[in-house]
A and B are shown apart, each in its own frame.
Chain A
Amino acid sequence: MLTKRIIPCFDVADGRVVKGIRFLNLRDAGDPVELARAYNDEGADELVFLDIRASPERRDTAIDMVQRIANEVFIPFTVGGGIRSPEDVRQMLESGADKVAINTAAVENADLVREAAERFGSQCIVVAIDAKGSAAGGWQVHTYGGVGGGTPVEIDAVEWAGRCAEAGAGEILITCMDADGTQEGYDLELTRAVSEAVQVPVIASGGAGKPEHMYEAFVNGKADAALAASIFHFGTHRIRDVKQYLAERDIPVRL
């Protein structure tokens, strides 16, 4: 049976992991390769690296990091942050990334997702959507999510997810910005709305604080994968314990 995936996410800058990693017994908690190995051993199904300070000048550092991860890690990993053109996608894939996450650039360049999917295949194109609940109901897409709360754009997140999937995205990573960092649980309504709107797999993101939240994301949110950062990095829960919890509740996971 196809399992639900648990995906730890790392923020990186200049080729280093920047968020505190508290629980693992590591020599160098900033080294993406060492962390990737450790999380692989813990039972992570995939890894996501988001370059939070991506820029053309730092491109070489990012590529070097992707190559080093690819040399050592034999599970799929996604790289995001600063992917703005098919050329950026190509560079990351050739360096060894399995997938790239496109966020702001997908909104600003209407053809990017289609072009990238046609050239490299849908399987490697993840569209990441940052969304916030809007007063009028529904959820509004935000670009530049990492900068001061993001910039709202006049697009409904659920509708946007549908359009991206139609354009060729192989997967949708949906982050609820209101829930992100709260550790109070994923936005299940948003996750479910997106999951029901698209035929491609959906990764829930933002708000994971305990194993129950992942359970809810799968059962109530109908997500295919759950992404989390703090819950794992700060040692609140181990990946294997989360998977055990899920398995006991009849959620198919790889143990």
Chain B
Amino acid sequence: MKVVVVDYGAGNLHSVSRAVVNAGTRPLVTSNPSYLDDAEAVIVPGVGAAADTMSNLRASGFVEPIHDYISSGRPFLGVCMGQQALFEVSEEGGEHECLGILPGRVVRFANGLKVPHMGWNQVRIVKQHPIFEGVGDGSYFYFVHSYYPRPADPEIVIGETEYGVNFASVIARDNIVATQFHPEKSGEAGLRMYANFLKIATTAGVS
């Protein structure tokens, strides 16, 4: 199976790639957008700031290919900034236009709690999804972020986490799954989600 990890010059590619290897497939980590053409699964990881993520995605020519890829219905996984980038606008450092694939905004925690939200927190499963197979309700995942997505459509929220507010920590729509936490840094439960994503991709490829 052709699994592509998008390298747009930011972040935790190494750990994402190792988690995919751990799940049984060697991914192609690439900064060449043309590899998305025949990819069977695409992962967009990310750490850092929204403005940088978007300018890097633009500079490396990934914006249109990601749109095309997602429109094609093939399985997509966004992690952390890779989740936030899917929305319309991020308020991080002003107002930044994002990919606009999912309606909604990315906003800052404004609850008097420490920012970044850093460490292990629980995910409450609000809607069952194959990505959660074998993952218990209330499992702990590793978070590090100061902003969180506020989807316009609450129906796409499949996992929620509480940090002063209840926010969308896992979202899913059609062929898209995205997490605000880092499954590649979340021990067994996180590795399980990578395995589940590859299983989703395998099934999608068969049908």
Instruction: Produce 1/0 per residue, A84-102, CB < 8 A to B.
Output: 0000000000111010000
Complex-state Cα separation, A201 to B114, whole angstroms: 7
Total of A-B residue pairs, C-beta within 8 Å: 84
CB-CB < 8 A to B144: which residues of A?
A: 76, 123, 170
Of residues 119 through 176 on chain B, the ones whose CB sits less than 8 Å from some CB of chain A are 119-122, 140, 142-146, 162-163
Q: Is the interface of A mostly helix, strand, loop or mixed?
A: loop
Is A254 at the interface (CB under 8 A from chain B)?
Answer: yes
A200 touches B114 (CB 8 A): yes
Chain B hits for A94, CB < 8 A: 14
Chain B residues near A121 (CB-CB < 8 A): 47-49, 52
B15 touches A170 (CB 8 A): no
Interface of chain B, main secondary structure:
mixed
Selecting from B27-35, B60-68, B69-77, B182-190, the interface stretch reads B182-190
Q: Are B14 and A95 in contact (CB under 8 A)?
A: yes
User: How long is the Cα–Cα vector from A124 to B115 in the complex, in angstroms?
Assistant: 14
Pairwise interchain contact A201-B18, C-beta atoms closer than 8 A: no
Chain B residues with CB under 8 Å of A4's CB are 119
Q: In this complex, which of B14, B49, B118, B190 has the most chain A Cβ atoms within 10 angstroms of its Cβ?
A: B118
Complex: A4 Cα to B118 Cα, angstroms: 10
Residue among A45, A71, A123 making CB contact with B120, cutoff 8 Å = A45
Distance of A22 from chain B, by nearest CB (Å): 25
Structural contact, A224 and B122, CB atoms closer than 8 A: no
Q: Is the CB of A254 within 8 A of B140?
A: yes
B116 x A70 contact (CB < 8 A):
no
Could you mark each residue 40-77 of chain A with 1 if its beta carbon is under 8 Å from any beta carbon of chain B, else 0?
10000100000000000000000000000011001110
Which residues of A are found within 8 Å of B116, using beta-carbon distances? 122-123, 170, 200-201
Q: Is A228 an interface residue (CB 8 A)?
A: no
Chain B hits for A75, CB < 8 A: 142, 185-187
Instruction: Quote the shortest CB–CB distance from A192 to chain B (angstroms).
Output: 14
Give the size category of A's interface with B: 20 to 34
Contact B14 A70 (CB under 8 A): yes
Interface members, chain B 40-90 (any A CB < 8 Å): 47-49, 52
Chain A residues contacting B201 (CB-CB under 8 Å) are none
Is the C-beta of A236 less than 8 angstroms from some C-beta in chain B? Answer: no
- Let me know if B185 and A76 touch, CB within 8 A: yes
Indicate whether B96 reaches chain A with its CB closer than 8 angstroms. no
Q: Are B119's CB and A74's CB within 8 A?
A: no
Asked whether B14 lies within 8 Å of A96 as measured between CB atoms, the reply is yes
CB of B114 within 8 A of CB of A224, answer yes
**Chain B residues within an 8 Å CB radius of A199:** 114-115
Q: How far is the CB of B131 from chain A (nearest CB, A)?
A: 17
Take A74-B22, A75-B185 as given contacts and tell me if A45 and B115 are in contact as well, using a CB distance cutoff of 8 Å.
no
User: Would B185 and A45 count as touching, CB distance under 8 A?
Assistant: no
The residue of chain A having its C-beta at the shortest distance from the C-beta of B49 within the complex is: A121
| Whole-angstrom CA separation of A3 from B139 in the bound complex | 12
A165 to nearest B CB, angstroms? Answer: 10
- With a cutoff of 8 Å between Cβ atoms, the chain B residues found around residue A170 in the complex are 116, 118, 144
Q: Is A2 an interface residue (CB 8 A)?
A: yes
B185 touching A3 by the CB < 8 A rule?
no
Residues of B within 8 A of A45 (CB): 119-120
A40 to B190, CA, bound (A): 14
Contacts of B47 in A (CB 8 A): 121, 123-124
- Residues in chain A within 8 A of chain B (CB atoms): 1-5, 40, 45, 70-71, 74-76, 94-96, 98, 120-124, 170-171, 199-201, 224-225, 254
Q: 8 closest A-B pairs (Cβ-Cβ)?
A: A121-B48, A96-B14, A254-B140, A254-B120, A123-B144, A2-B121, A3-B120, A76-B185
* Further 13 A-B residue pairs, CB within 8 A, beyond A74-B185, A95-B14, A123-B47: A2-B119, A74-B22, A74-B187, A75-B185, A75-B186, A76-B182, A98-B15, A120-B48, A121-B52, A123-B116, A123-B145, A171-B118, A224-B114
